Homo-oligomer: A and B are copies of this chain.
Amino acid sequence: MSYRTDTVAILGLGLIGGSLARALRASGFSRRFLGYGYREPSLRRGVELGVIDAFTLDLDEVIEQADILVLCAPTLVAADLLRQILERVRGRADSPIITDAASVKGNLLAAARQSWAGEMPPQLVLAHPIAGSERSGVDASDPELFRDHRVILTPEEGNDPAAVELVRAMWASTGAEVVSMSVADHDAVLAATSHLPHVLAYALVDALAQSDTSADIFRFAAGGFRDFTRIASSDPVMWRDIAIANKDALLNAIDTFSEHLAGLRTAVAAQDAERLHATFSRAKQARDEFATLLAERKS
């Protein structure tokens, strides 16, 4: 099966959706960009800025007009929206390709299968661009946001290979490096490297803020603490939704971490110099290698 790419619809027009539309217009991947969402002012602003050509508040209309639907709504909203779309396109030969940009994939896959009586919709290709900014909203959108960043595709059995190829080509045209892994691996890797660190930072800052000596604690905290806790300043609503959407993988990551922390606690309690040194040295080596990897990636 082959697909048209004439009209791309962005569902949820913020930083990510706006940046994608701008990048795809610049690359010539698509000719026309349609906005859909619940908040009319953002969509109106998108038209003003030339990010999108038109918008609608009618889901049936966007399904009718678009060749590709990109769900750029927040994690839990995206799952609801996906259900609504899949119910509408089930059994239709002219369904658009459906893809997304959410931080968690497992909850979307579950929502999709639930909507289609356990089957994988062949035209649904889940994806996650690993990119962001301190800023948000369509005004902050940037056609270069994805350049040299990773986009993870998570194709599943039952997917139409031509649909997967099209979504890959779409992200490649933004300058991103597109890689593939399973939904389960994606959610486990993101839980470990992003969702767990956020939970740890939130737990630490909340614990300290509630302690008797919190005034002194924050007065005497130094640079290492600033870096370590920076992610605790992230958007609580976004991270609440991610924690809910990626429950299973996040619980696994918390449990693995807690076992390692308990091991270190035992070593501290026993003043086990050898074990403390071995663990700290292994961690330092892994962190130093990661820093090298990161430096190479940037250059």
Contacts and interface: CB of A to CB of B under 8 A. Distances in A.
Interface in A280-299: 280-284, 286-291, 293-294
A226 B264 contact: no
Given A237-B277, A279-B202, A293 B219 contact: yes
A64 B258 CA distance: 52
A231 B261 CA distance: 16
Contacts of A255: 265
A275 B299 CA distance: 42
A266 to B, nearest CB: 10
B261 A254 contact: yes
Interface string A221-259: 110111111111111110110011001001100111111
A265 B206 CA distance: 14
B257 A288 contact: no
B227 A227 contact: yes
B217 A189 contact: yes
Given A220-B150, A261-B200, A251 B269 contact: yes
A64 to B, nearest CB: 34
Contacts of A268: 199, 243-244, 247, 250-251, 254
Report which residue of A226, A235, A244 has the largest number of chain B beta carbons within 10 angstroms of its beta carbon.
A244
Contacts of A287: 201, 205, 229-230, 232-233
Interface in A189-220: 189-190, 192-194, 196-209, 211, 213-214, 216-220
